[in-house]
Every structure is written in C-alpha cells, then in structure tokens.
A and B are shown apart, each in its own frame.
Chain A
Amino acid sequence: MEHPALPLPVANADSKPYWDAARERRLVIRKCNSCGQLHFMPRHLCPACWSDQLEWVDATGAGSVHSFTIIRRASDPAFAPLVPYAVALIDLDEGPRMMANIVGASALEVAIGDRVQVSFEDRGSGAMLPQFIRAAA
C-alpha cells in the first residue's frame, strides 16, 4: 500500500527564521526584549506583554520530558508505517515547552522527566525537523 510522504515543515511570516535555523541544525526560540520572557510558538508579538520588540535566540537544545504518549494507531496515514512511535512535550531548559517525537534506539522506553537533547530529522529537500533523543543515562 502506498503511504503519503511525511509532512514537510511549512514556514510562514511568523516562523521562517525558525525553520531556516533548523536547516542549519539550530533550535531557536523567541525572546521579548521588553519583558524578557521567552516563548516557543513564534508570533508577531510577545504573548505576555504584547511588545513587538522580539528577537530570536539559540536554545541549548537540552530539555526534559513533561509528558509523552506512544502512538499505536496513527490518525494521519503518512505516519501509519511508523507505529509505534513516541510523541512528547519537551520542557526546554530555557523554559518554553514544545512538541516533538522522541527518536533513537530507546525512544519507546521514554519516561516523564527524562533528559533529552535536540537532534534534526531530514524530511527531504534539506527541510529539518527538530526532534529529541534521550540523553545517555
């Protein structure tokens, strides 16, 4: 059976620098230069104070698993051949939370609180998707 390709990252005016950085294997997040708060999902303004004085800063790529699930039945047919796989919420050490897959040999043994480090998955045409690998115990 033919499976559709995995979705490619889609850049828009809010997120282009994020995906451009990912192509260089860098994870970047938004920082507000008015109130100092960091946030993940890129926006036109700071969700805490509505300042539009924002900059992109490099994250260390280190974080911990806030929660996770092992997907046994994919809703999106593109992911059906990959089951079972882990989807997690990652608390970056800088504070913001993001979603990603846990990848690597021991991904299915993931637990809440695990230390993880960013890695990048090539989805084709050089488009890179930030993912996370469990840190060696």
Chain B
Amino acid sequence: MKMPASLKNKIAIVGVGESDIGKIPNMTGLGLNAQAAKRALDESGLKISDIDGVLTAYSFTEPYFMLGSVLCEYLGVKPRFNASVICGGASPAVMLKHAAEAIVSGQAETILVCAGENRATGLTREAALSALLAVGHPYFEQPYGGSIPGYYAMIAQRHMHVYGTRREDLAQVAVNTRAHALLHPNAHMKKPLEMQEVLDAKPIADPLGMLDCCLISDAGGAFIVTSAERARDLKSKPVYLQGIGEYHTHEHLMCAPSLTEFGATESGRTAYQMAGLGPQDIDVAELYDCFTIVPIIELEELGFCKPGEGGAFFAEGHARIGGKLPVNTHGGMLSHAHAGAAGGLFGIVEAVRQLRGGLGPRQVQGAEVALVHNEGGVLSSHCTLILANDKG
C-alpha cells in the first residue's frame, strides 16, 4: 500500500494548555476545555480571530451530540474547519494529523485542538465505569461481564505467559510514572508511590490492581497548530511535526489479530519513515498508559526494545528521567490526569514543553526530538507522532 504523503516540517504546535486538574467540581467539561484553550492561545500570542479551525473529540459526561460545533458555540468561534473525532484515546494524535492535513491543503491556517471532561465530579464513579462498558462489544462481549481493565488484563496475562513479564514489571510502570508526576506542578497525584503499594492495591482484574489503572480526573487539554511559516514570528518557540502515522486493526478485543502484536508497529513505521528518523533518535517518549501493560507493549512495538523486553526496560530504570529513554515525564494517565481524550492529549502537551526546555528537575537534558503515541479502544486504534524543536 502507498505510504501517506509527507507532513514533515509543514506545521508547528505554537501553544499548549492544561486546565486545572483533579477534582474540580466548580467547572463543567466544556469549561475545562475552554480554560485549556485560553491558556494555549495566550501562550501562542495569537488572537481568537486567528482560529479558523477547531477539532475536538467526545465526552461521556455532558449530553451533547455534535460536540465539535457545541464547543465552537461555547467558545464563540466560527471556524471554516470543524469536526468531532472519535478514535477513543487515539483521538488527540489523530486530530493533530487531521489539523496538519487541513493546514497543508489550505483548508485552515490556525487550528485549535481541544479535549476534556469532568469525569471525576461530573459522573459518579459507578456511572463513569458503566459508560466505559461501551468499549466492550454489546452483543458478544458485554454479556460476559468483562470491563476495560479486564480486557487489558487479558493482554497483560498473555504478555506474561509468552514473554515472562513479571507482576513487578507492571507495578514498576506505575511507580516510575508517579515519580515523574511529583515533578509536575499540575499533576492530579501528589504523593509518592512504592512498589509494595501497587502490589497490595485493591485487585481489579488479574493481574491488574487499582494502581495499574489510569486515573479518573476532571481535566481539559488544548494545543494550537499552525503552518510552519506562520509559526516563525509568534510569541512561543514553535515545535515542528516531523512524522505522523496511524493504523487501525480492530475495535473489540475478541477481534484483535493478536494479543501480543498490535498496530503501534505500523503507525510507528509510518511516523519514523516520514520523519527520516528511528527509535535511536528519540530523546523522550510520551506513551499512552491507560494501564501499566500498555507502555510496555508500546516500547516494544515502537522499536525501543525487543518484543518481550518492555517490562525489563522499566524495571532496569531506563524509562526514568535521566535514563536511556525517559517515558511519560509528566506522569502519564496513571498519575498526571485521565479524562477521556484529554489523557493522550497531555502527552502531546508534555512533548512540546520538553522540546521547548526549561522544565527544571522534570527536564530531559538536551531533548530535541520527542515521540508521542496515542491508542484507543483496546489497543485498537493507534497514532504515533514525532516532534522536534528544530526543522533538522
């Protein structure tokens, strides 16, 4: 099949924003989106009237149908380019790709990409978990009482069986990510986490316990994309898209082609090829981490280690800030925030910040190239992107 046309160095991210994160009962989901959008726009130095495109994802907490135009209406923006993208957790990276395509083809010049929900306070915990049941197939999976943690647990179980990945390797992912979150002023989780606490946490679906599962936060995230040309004379230091690729293999776990090989290999291949870079060129990686098994698999599929070695990569400390490849330097969805599509969006926000530099103890020294991977469903939809602080 033909490789997608190159989007290298054609667009830049010129502003990123996070809403307040955690339990924010005084704000709606749309309010969180708006707060993040305002912070991103302020950072870019652009005006509201410069925004001619808006992309958003979906919300489980608010009763709107056409969320794309709902958000524009709320923000008072009348764009030429607008859509709601529903690729689950992969949506933010896919939205960046759609934004890049629209800018390169001249459909829009400056696009606001936004996502977020008030999942912590806008829904009861039970309602949030029930809403997520929809990820299971309604007729052939849901009658068996599985759950999202349960589906990912089956993937973890298989990884342990095939490769000998240990329960402690999974736990190490949670411990690492928490250590990074403590360096982030806006992270949901503020307390240190020990390995034993992860192992002793309330069991959810074997082998996963409560602390192997992502947070349920109130949070919104946003970034502003514009042409590389327009980005040159803006207030913030532009971060350029080098490569981006997506790949979709299934939706429901029972239809996954494999429980050990997913679509990240292919989305990564496309992104690397477009960028003209390989895993050895990446200084920092922000990998989707809805459950501890997921970044282990992504490290393997994206070529940072061999299949089966992702657990050891974490256990040996290579994924820590200061290690071979720092992973989820903001604290990921396990410890920074998870609220619908905003979870993966914060990986993009963090990659941009790392490439701009100046993050103090959280800064990956000399970071010039970052990789972000988003996945949605049950490792079903994948999108990988590579960003750089220089056109290279």
Contacts and interface: CB of A to CB of B under 8 A. Distances in A.
Asked if chains A and B come from one complex, the reply is yes
Interface of A: 6-10, 12, 15, 40-41, 66-79, 82, 85, 87-89, 97-101, 112, 123, 129
B144 A68 contact: no
Interface stretch (B131-139, B317-325, B337-345): B131-139
A71 B137 contact: no
B105 interface: no
Contacts of A67: 154-155, 157-158, 161, 259
Contacts of B161: 67, 112
Contacts of B66: none
A88 B150 CA distance: 10
Contact of A76 (B145, B153, B206): B145
Given A69-B146, A75-B149, 11 more contacts: A8-B143, A67-B154, A72-B204, A72-B205, A73-B202, A74-B147, A75-B130, A82-B145, A87-B145, A89-B259, A123-B143
Contacts of B70: none
A80 B329 CA distance: 36
Given A41-B255, A74-B147, A75-B148, A68 B142 contact: no
Given A67-B157, A68-B157, A99 B253 contact: yes
Contacts of A129: 143-144
B126 interface: yes
Contact of A98 (B132, B140, B148, B259): B140
Given A87-B154, A99-B140, A99-B253, A78 B145 contact: yes
A17 to B, nearest CB: 13
A7 B143 contact: yes
A101 B145 CA distance: 8
A89 B153 CA distance: 12
Contacts of B62: none
Given A9-B139, A10-B139, A70-B205, A112 B144 contact: no
Scoring B133, B145, B147, B155 by chain A CB atoms within 10 A of each residue's CB, the highest score goes to: B145
Interface in B106-155: 126, 129-130, 132-133, 137-150, 153-155
A41 B150 contact: no
A61 B139 CA distance: 19
Nearest to B126: A77
Contacts of B153: 69
Interface of B: 126, 129-130, 132-133, 137-150, 153-155, 157-158, 161, 202-208, 252-255, 259
5 contacts: A41-B140, A72-B206, A89-B259, A99-B137, A101-B144
Nearest to B153: A69
Nearest to A108: B206
Given A67-B155, A69-B206, A73-B204, A87 B150 contact: yes
A75 B151 CA distance: 12
A41 B157 contact: no
B254 A76 contact: no
Contacts of A77: 126, 130
A82 B150 CA distance: 15
A27 B132 CA distance: 29
A112 B148 contact: no
Given A41-B137, A89-B254, A99 B146 contact: yes
Contacts of A15: 139
Nearest to A82: B145
B274 to A, nearest CB: 29
A50 to B, nearest CB: 16
Contacts of A73: 147, 149, 202-205
Given A73-B205, A74-B145, A97 B158 contact: no
Contacts of A12: 139
B150 to A, nearest CB: 5
Nearest to B208: A69
B254 A97 contact: yes
Contact of B146 (A9, A41, A71, A82): A71
Contact of B141 (A66, A68, A99): A99
Contacts of B138: 10
Contacts of B254: 40-41, 89, 97-99
Given A67-B155, A99-B253, A76 B142 contact: yes
B170 to A, nearest CB: 13
A113 to B, nearest CB: 8
Contact of A69 (B130, B139, B140, B205): B205
A69 B159 CA distance: 13
Contacts of B203: 72-73
Contacts of A112: 157-158, 161
A50 B318 CA distance: 46
B296 to A, nearest CB: 16
